[in-house]
Amino acid sequence: MSGPLLILDTATLYYRAFYALPQKMMAPDDSPHNAVRGFLSMLTKLIVIHQPSGLVAAWDNDWRPQWRVELLPSYKTHRVESDQGGEGAPDTLLPQIEAIAEILDAFGIARAGIDGFEADDVIASVAEQIGVRCLVATSDRDLIQVVNERVSLLLQVSGGVERWPILDPVAIEAKYGVSPADYLAMAALRGDPSDGLAGIAGIGDKTACALINEFGSLDSLIGAAAAETCAKPLTPLLAQRITAGAPYLESALAVITAEKRLPIHQWSVDIPYEPVDPHGLEALAARWGVEKYVTELLQAALG
């Protein structure tokens, strides 16, 4: 295959499958297999459509690292006791996540995770260091930060895989009003409830874009807000709020900036010519009642 390296934000895919498909889809032992089935189906379609030259499944070894919580205690707080990830994942999803991990391992697809870091950090590190054209499949807009002339985002939207748009730097700027490099600054300013970012009161998308485009960075904006004479388009009230919120802005930006220096040499991004554990893969497919989906994935990936 001659396409890009396909990097999966794996959790966004299996959560999408879990909530999109009914839990009445059952394995032979009457346990739900909707997430496993949906994940395999989406992965097969992604391979067929994009013909990747390589594949890596980024994994959340730690979905809420302590070092990020220390910087910003509100980081993902609402997810801890909800069904949106990690510790609060639904009971019927947890075994399926483990099954997906085991299937990927038996297949031989790189499942890349590092303790103390999130999938975003793995994705950013692979995209930064691998040196080839990359396509990142995710629903997480924070990963706009990795987009450049070599790295594009395959953004999960409503509808099937075929409808997911590919966003390059030009498309990012047209859609969000800022360059990929400036997206995180905008996100910190306007806030992001999904990550527990409060934002600055009175600043929405349009104002955040205007401020970042005018001042170029959060540091410059904070400096302008602290000056005795406000520079347009700042108003005295907005300048006061930004100055008061400066510690939050600095912490928020550090928290949502993905680490790009993780060691990636430990993972092979090549698609294997055959499963590394064919008997194990066969047993997993039978255990979860997804033989058809495993076979289709094998045919798509291995030709």
**Could you read off the pLDDT of 166-207 as tens digits, one per residue?**
999 999 999 999 999 999 999 999 999 888 999 999 999 999
With b meaning 16 or more CB within 10 Å and e meaning fewer, what string describes 17-44? Answer: bbeebeeeeebeeebbbbbbbbbbbbbb
Between CA 201 and CA 21 the distance in angstroms is 38
The CATH number, out of the four listed (1.10.760.10, 1.20.1440.120, 3.30.450.20, 1.10.150.20), of the domain defined by the range 180-256: 1.10.150.20
Given a contact cutoff of 8 angstroms between Cβ atoms, the answer to whether 33 and 21 are in contact is: no
Q: Which helix (H) or strand (E) holds 50?
A: helix 34-50
Strands 54-58 vs 110-112: parallel, antiparallel or unpaired = parallel
Given a contact cutoff of 8 angstroms between Cβ atoms, the answer to whether 161 and 49 are in contact is: yes
Asked whether the predicted pLDDT for residue 130 surpasses 70, the reply is yes
Given a contact cutoff of 8 angstroms between Cβ atoms, the answer to whether 10 and 137 are in contact is: no
pLDDT of residue 186: 96
Q: Could you give the angle at the alpha carbon of 163 between the alpha carbons of 35 and 182, nearest 5°?
A: 95
pLDDT of residue 194: 86
Candidate from 103-112, 173-182, 224-233 with smallest mean pLDDT: 224-233
Beta bridge partners of 192: 197
Asked whether the predicted pLDDT for residue 84 surpasses 80, the reply is no
Q: Find where tokens 């399926």 sit.
A: 96
Between CA 73 and CA 55 the distance in angstroms is 34
**Could you read off the pLDDT of 234-246 as tens digits, one per residue?**
888 999 999 999 9
Asked whether the predicted pLDDT for residue 303 surpasses 90, the reply is no
The fraction of the chain above a pLDDT of 70, given in percent, is 95
What token pair was written down for 274?
């055959």
Confidence class for position 85, pLDDT limits 50, 70, 90: very low
Tell me which DSSP letter residue 146 carries.
Answer: G
Tell me which DSSP letter residue 28 carries.
Answer: T
Q: Find how far residue 32's CA is from the centre of its chain.
A: 25
Could you tell me which CATH number the domain at 5-176+259-302 has?
Answer: 3.40.50.1010
E strand intervals along the chain: 5-9, 54-58, 110-112, 134-138, 151-155, 166-167
Confidence class for position 229, pLDDT limits 50, 70, 90: low
The domain segmentation of the chain, as residue ranges, is: 5-176+259-302, 180-256
